[in-house]
Amino acid sequence: LSGDQRVKDETRLRVIAAAKKLSYTPNATAQSLIRRRSNIVGVVVSDITNPFYPVLVESLDRMFAGSGYRLILFNGHGTDERADALRHLSSRLVDGLVFTSALLDYPFADELAALNAPVVFVNRYIDDPRFDRVVADNVGGGAHAARLLVEQFGHERIAVISGPSTASTARDRERGFRGFLEEIGRALDESLYCSGPFTRDTGVTCCQKLLSREERPSAIFCGNDIIALGAWDAAVSSGVSVPGELSILGFDDIPIASWSAIGLTTVRQPVASMAQAAAEMLIERIEGSAASSGRTNVFPTELILRRTVGLPSRLRVGAS
């Protein structure tokens, strides 16, 4: 039934006829036990409701499907989904794991390394050279964002709403942003700094706080698009014009960012290319053709200029 060439044609036909008569279907669990391969790959996501992840999951799904692998999605906000994923890997229910939203304090690194099993970190990574990683140049993207606000648009009072310091993306974007400001001798005003989880709520709350200050910022750099859209929503719905009174800059370029009524200016991560690289690296590990040490694949980011970043009022012709 498996098409083995050593079986005589006559025998093969008799087996096929018998299988048909008995309505026999091969048991995939039994087959995967023999082959020691499930052709299923686990993807660990911390928050599928952040619109960045469905886009990444769909890209990964497409890339893996092209090579005959299906995805199991491990979704969750705690350590449960990571422990589950690890258990599935150690017991070979999945052939490999893609971590999309790892935290820097990831608690299972040694267990993972001891398994010596196929793993790749995409988007966020952990500071551990034993593992493959696919990332955007978040430091460079943060620096581009600072240059845009300061040099191209002349902003002086700039706020930052950052993601959690435990996420490599938040840390690196902020590092790049601060680095550029320090380089030109204009360190970030810490009274204009706010941070929280990568959620819309963080953007809403931090923006309201920043707007309630006597001296408001003229621009905000946000750790990702969903924070930026929260900030945009808080500003617009309280009558603050964007970008007239407040410029807002995001990171990721999720689909909503491009809606014409919003037009979020942002720093794009090349999601499809990153998903393709992650799938290729993981499949190489599964099929045993990769080197043993961890590899790093960094993708350049791109500034996407839309409507939420403009000149501060003091530089606008006709401004009062």
List contacts with a copy of itself (CB under 8 A): 25-33, 38, 40, 48-49, 51, 53-55, 57-58, 61, 65, 70-76, 80, 84, 87-88, 90-93, 200, 229, 232-234, 236-237, 255-256, 259-262
The whole-angstrom distance between residue 20's C-alpha and the CA centroid of its chain comes to: 47
Comparison of 83 and 109: residue with beta carbon closer to a copy of itself:
83
Cα–Cα distance measured from residue 44 to residue 50, given in angstroms and rounded to the nearest whole number: 14
CA nearest neighbour of 227 among 163, 296, 280, 319: 163
Minimum CB distance to a copy of itself, residue 209 (Å): 16
Q: Where are the alpha helices (DSSP H) in 24-135?
A: 28-35, 52-66, 80-90, 109-115
Comparison of 74 and 221: residue with beta carbon closer to a copy of itself:
74
Comparison of 152 and 258: residue with beta carbon closer to a copy of itself:
258
The whole-angstrom distance between residue 171's C-alpha and the CA centroid of its chain comes to: 14
Minimum CB distance to a copy of itself, residue 200 (Å): 8
Secondary structure of residue 238 in the 3-state scheme:
coil
Secondary structure of residue 50 in the 3-state scheme:
coil
Minimum CB distance to a copy of itself, residue 116 (Å): 12
Comparison of 98 and 148: residue with beta carbon closer to a copy of itself:
98
Minimum CB distance to a copy of itself, residue 283 (Å): 18
Contact between 173 and 251 (Cβ < 8 Å): yes
Residue that has been written with the tokens 């001891």 in this structure: 114
Minimum CB distance to a copy of itself, residue 138 (Å): 23
Cα–Cα distance measured from residue 57 to residue 238, given in angstroms and rounded to the nearest whole number: 35
Name the token pair of 229: 């859209």
Comparison of 96 and 142: residue with beta carbon closer to a copy of itself:
96
